[in-house]
Amino acid sequence: MHVHPAALLLTMAALAVPLVCHAGEFPPPAKPKDISQYGQRLQRTMTLLATSTPEKRNRVRILFYGQSITGQGWWKQVEADLRRRFPHADMECVNLALGGFASQLLVRTAEYDLYPFYPDLLIFHVYGHHVRYEDIIRRTRQRTAAEVLIQTDHVTREVEGDWTKKMNYTFLPSYAEKYGCQLAHIRESWKRYLGDHGLKPQELLRDGVHLNAHGEFLMAQLVCQELVHRPDLPPDAWKGLARTYAVGRDVQWKGDRLTLEFEGNRVVALAGAGGRRAAQVLVDGRKPSDFPQLYYHARPSGTAGVGWPAIQRIAAEKPLVLEEWTATFTGFNDAQDDFRFSVAGSVTGPDGSGTAKERFVSNSGRVVIEPDDWVFAYCRKVSKKRTPDGFKVRWKVKPLFVDVYEPPQVSGPAGGFPTTLVQGIANAKHTLEIVGRTAIRAIRVYKPPVK
């Protein structure tokens, strides 16, 4: 793995300080004079939040993704603000940020972090190569129906470099426009805040780039400004991202079979009251488990030094099965960029061995690892710690489907009670069949906006 020296210094600084802190009492940013652009491309998420009631608790998934800046405590302040403003929403907020993973690394880990999670809203910030940055945004809009909030960089110095200008004022705005994302102008608002209060950039930082308590407070405030419900805006921009079919109104049981023709790549069943009878799920006449693309290698366990996922991406050349994998390592050199390993699956069994510097394809074809996807050498540079011989990395193959729908118990206030039936099929026209009359009140279909 090749890492730019500047990125390495940034990573070392991130590891030297705790990432979570509480905000003190700081002056809030001035209210923006023009709010017409705020939240424009986030209205599916914000409508779900704002229309939640004690009787109808909408399920909303929010993912924070990026590097160490995203991993700092400001994201918890954003979550707390949303929970205060929308107490009846059934909110799931998750942070999968990886400190030190610039876009050229995060584009690999997104394969097991971002797309399988399939958020309603992605809040995103990362440094690194602009092409890899665009890859992440494009794939998010191709493979999920998530709305995306892109954050520009906060201010770390008084004089901007040419690359910083190009990234924040050319590339990021162009990506937001090209892929229909909301752009949070963090940088411009940060400059304005510094000027309003006579502050230097360093006064909101704990080192050259990471936020102190004051900086975390400001970041949370600026992100929250974007997370507003705008019922004044037409719903045309977001209505196509997800469509809900009410059973009994939009789609009907015919005997013991419910059939729905749809277009999209994800289908969720929303449970209704009245029984726990299981039912068979078919897509295009096949069990979901027959679709190879509906299995994925999940995030592997961490390195010995920093705890990063030890492998950036694990691919496959042959269909996967649900199982747990273990890789065992020996013969590390001092730089930890050369070693031997073997892999074994709980179902597949022992499946071959390889070396760090060669592309690895397991005997079954179910595990493929590229030489640049090992993280041990990067971890060694940053943590100065050696990974011992005999070290093991574990991960699971997980499903993005169910072959049999088993309704969850519905009790208390009406919530989403969602079960993903299938996720990750081609974003195209399909036919869903539920065989066996069961307690489903609605079917929700998700359709990514970019082909």
HSE toward the beta carbon, residue 367, CA cutoff 13 A: 29
Predicted confidence (pLDDT) at residue 10 exceeds the cutoff of 60:
no
pLDDT (0 to 100) of residue 276: 78
- Domain for residue 451, yes or no? no
Same domain? For 280 and 351 the reply is no
Q: Which CATH number covers residue 196?
A: 3.40.50.1110
Same domain? For 279 and 300 the reply is no
Query: Taking the model in full, what pTM does it have?
Result: 0.93
Residue 189 pLDDT level (bands cut at 50, 70, 90) = very high
- Domain for residue 322, yes or no? yes
Same domain? For 371 and 406 the reply is no
Mean pLDDT of 206-212: 97
Domain count within the chain:
3
End position of a domain, from candidates 377, 394, 411: 394
- Domain for residue 143, yes or no? yes
Q: CA-CA distance, 98 to 115, in Å (whole number)?
A: 16
Share of the chain above pLDDT 70, in %: 93
Mean pLDDT of 202-231: 97
H or E stretch at 177: helix 172-179
Q: CA-CA distance, 4 to 104, in Å (whole number)?
A: 11
pLDDT tens, 84-126?
999 999 999 999 999 999 999 999 999 999 999 999 999 999 9
Q: CA-CA distance, 451 to 448, in Å (whole number)?
A: 7
pLDDT tens, 21-39?
344 589 999 988 888 999 9
Which of 280, 279, 281, 274 has the alpha carbon at shortest distance from 409? 274
Structural domain span for residue 303: 294-394
Same domain? For 13 and 109 the reply is yes
End position of a domain, from candidates 356, 371, 394: 394
Same domain? For 317 and 430 the reply is no
Q: CA-CA distance, 36 to 285, in Å (whole number)?
A: 47
Same domain? For 385 and 410 the reply is no
Q: Which CATH number covers residue 281?
A: 2.60.120
Same domain? For 53 and 136 the reply is yes
Q: Which residue has the tokens 């489907």?
A: 401
Q: CA-CA distance, 324 to 367, in Å (whole number)?
A: 12
Tokens of 147: 């709305």
pLDDT tens, 314-369?
999 999 999 999 999 999 999 999 999 999 999 999 999 999 999 999 999 999 99
196 SS3 class? helix
pLDDT tens, 415-445?
568 999 999 999 999 999 999 999 999 999 9
Residue 187 pLDDT level (bands cut at 50, 70, 90) = very high
Q: Which residue has the tokens 């009140």?
A: 441
Same domain? For 266 and 302 the reply is no
Same domain? For 143 and 198 the reply is yes
